[in-house]
Amino acid sequence: MKTSRMYIYGAALVTIVASNPIVAIAHSFPEKETPSAGQKVASPPSEVVIGFDAPIEKLFAKLEVAGADGTNQAVGAPQVSDDGRQLSVKVGALKPGDYTVRWAVVCIDTHHTEGSYTFSVANGGS
Amino acid sequence: MIPQPIFAWPLVGSQVLIFGTAAFALVAPRDARDRAVSGSGPAKLWRVLALIVLVISPLRLLSIAAGMADSTFREVIPVMPQVMRETFAGRVWTWRLATALLLALAAWIPAPGRFATASICVISAALLAQQSITSHAVDKGAFAIAVHFAHQVAAGLWIGALVSLLIGATYGHADAEWLRAATSRVSMIAGWSVAALVVTGAIRAWDALGLQPDLLVNSIYGRTLLWKVGTAAAVILIGGYNRYQLVGALGESSARASLIRNVAVECALLAVVIGWSVVLANTPPPH
């Protein structure tokens, strides 16, 4: 009886442990953006940079900065840092207004993530 | 696009099973080894599993590359050389395909029994290691990869011991004495394996953000995880019933039949657990 009870407790322990959020161990997500999401910058940035919490694959990294009319303001191809944790792209002279940054990356664990955020350039910035 | 688990499930299942059954063949007592390993049963099983690994691996690689490129199988084929050269997963998979070929050779080329078994065990362990290197654990570094590998090894030993017992009992025409001895050994391996699964699970949990129980019911990932854990818990309970209720009564033919039937159910449920694991590995976590 005692051993049977130990088995039940063991099963319960496995349940609790395995239920713990392994959910957070996966994929690359932005940790920091420059300019940051929702920020209103006084002077236009020369590049947009996103730092990720896990390394990404350069081959599949995408980053574009769209103005209000939807035109991509990025200049050249997106760059990935040597450690794979930073994605950046140069941008042209941004006029005052709202911009949407769209990113899509593949983590080195092969999983795909994507997202977008906005920032704005204040009047008199350019 | 073909869902990732369609290739991942038979691949992961075959790798874990071939490792576990080969490991059991190496550590089992002599009489159990004779029953479970000699004859054509396990050798045939290993050949079939090695063939599955060899055939499914390139397809799995294609499905992964298609997922990375967000494209179809046909669209990704032209960029495969670039994927193999320029991505981390591609470089690991180059080794993985070679290892799968090596496993097939070891399983199909006749060799002295114990040497062949040891080779199959080591090569399949290498495949499990490569699986860990391309898992979510790679995001967290070497320690997380080691923990993931240990988790797979423990799961493999558990499943392998049960399947070996089933093979021995079914094809070896086991008597009560053999069943009692083999079941005792399988119970010991299962106990240690479950303990290792708990420890490695705890470390992985510690490595995560902490307890967020609401995500278990409020996300697809969480609900899938609950199904997986529930299925694994059912296997543990059946194992406990076998060990503490049936083994003592193996002199009766009804108890022997019940034991074999229960072990078959445990094996089937563990195959389902592997299926849940594969689904989890391909489900975006709620971040």
A22 pLDDT above the threshold of 60 = no
Domain assignment present for residue B67? The answer is yes
Over residues B6-30, the pLDDT tens digits come to 888 999 999 999 999 999 888 875 6
Q: Establish whether the linkage from the previous residue to A21 is cis, with ω within 30° of 0.
A: no
Cβ–Cβ gap A18/B225 under 8 Å: yes
Residue of higher predicted confidence among B36 and B56 = B56
Give the pairing type, strands A40-41 and A112-121: parallel
Domain assignment present for residue B124? The answer is yes
CB B87 within 8 A of CB A125: no
Domain assignment present for residue B83? The answer is yes
B217 pLDDT above the threshold of 80 = no
Domain assignment present for residue B287? The answer is no
Contacts of A107 in chain B (CB under 8 A): 139
Over residues A23-81, the pLDDT tens digits come to 334 578 899 999 999 999 999 999 999 999 889 999 999 999 999 998 999 999 999 99
Which pLDDT score is estimated for A23? 35
Residue of higher predicted confidence among A58 and B184 = A58
List the 215-274 stretch of B: residues with Cβ below 8 A of A.
Answer: 215-216, 219, 221-222, 225-226, 228-230, 232-233, 236-237, 239-240, 243-244
**Encoded tokens for A38:** 């929702």
| B212 phi/psi in degrees, rounded to 5 | -135, 75
Kindly write down the DSSP assignment for every residue of chain B, as one continuous string.
---THHHHHHHHHHHHHHHHHHHHHHHS-HHHHHHHHSSSHHHHHHHHHHHHHHHHHHHHHHHHHHHHHTS-HHHHGGGHHHHHHHSHHHHHHHHHHHHHHHHHHHHHS---HHHHHHHHHHHHHHHHHHHHHTSGGGGG-HHHHHHHHHHHHHHHHHHHHHHHHHHHHHHTT--HHHHHHHHHHHHHHHHHHHHHHHHHHHHHHHHSS---THHHHHSHHHHHHHHHHHHHHHHHHHHHHIIIIIGGGTTSHHHHHHHHHHHHHHHHHHHHHHHHHHHHHTS----
Which pLDDT score is estimated for B14? 95
CB A52 within 8 A of CB B287: no
**Encoded tokens for A42:** 């006084």
Which pLDDT score is estimated for A6? 52
Which pLDDT score is estimated for B61? 94
**What's the mean pLDDT in B160-188?**
81
- Rounded to two decimals, the pTM is 0.81
**What's the mean pLDDT in B23-40?**
64
Which pLDDT score is estimated for B210? 52
Domain assignment present for residue B28? The answer is yes
| B172 phi/psi in degrees, rounded to 5 | -90, 0
CB B261 within 8 A of CB B274: no
Which pLDDT score is estimated for B229? 83
Which pLDDT score is estimated for B67? 87
Angstrom distance (rounded) from CA B63 to CA B214: 32
CA distance B261 to chain A (A): 20
**What's the mean pLDDT in B263-280?**
90
Domain assignment present for residue B140? The answer is yes
Give the pairing type, strands A112-121 and A86-91: unpaired
Angstrom distance (rounded) from CA B284 to CA A40: 31
Angstrom distance (rounded) from CA B139 to CA B35: 43
Over residues A70-123, the pLDDT tens digits come to 899 999 999 999 999 999 999 999 999 999 999 999 999 888 889 999 999 997
Over residues B73-131, the pLDDT tens digits come to 889 999 999 999 999 999 999 999 999 999 999 999 887 678 889 999 999 999 999 99
Candidate from A10, A28, A110 with C-beta closest to B68: A110
CA distance B102 to chain A (A): 24
Give the pairing type, strands A112-121 and A30-34: unpaired
**What's the mean pLDDT in B33-60?**
80
Q: Can you give the residue range of the structural domain that contains B228? A: 5-281
CB B193 within 8 A of CB B157: yes
Is the predicted ipTM greater than 0.85, yes or no?
no
The total number of structural domains that make up chain B? 1
Domain assignment present for residue B286? The answer is no
Angstrom distance (rounded) from CA B105 to CA B6: 25
Contacts of A60 in chain B (CB under 8 A): 68-70, 87
Q: How far apart are the first and last CA of chain B?
A: 25
A126 pLDDT above the threshold of 60 = no
Over residues B51-66, the pLDDT tens digits come to 999 999 999 999 999 9
Judged by DSSP in three states, A36 sits in coil
pLDDT band for position A15 (cuts 50, 70, 90): very low
Contacts of B86 in chain A (CB under 8 A): 57-59
Which pLDDT score is estimated for B281? 76
Give the rounded percent of residues in chain B with a pLDDT score beyond 70.
Answer: 86
CB B56 within 8 A of CB B14: yes
A13 pLDDT above the threshold of 50 = no
B222 pLDDT above the threshold of 80 = no
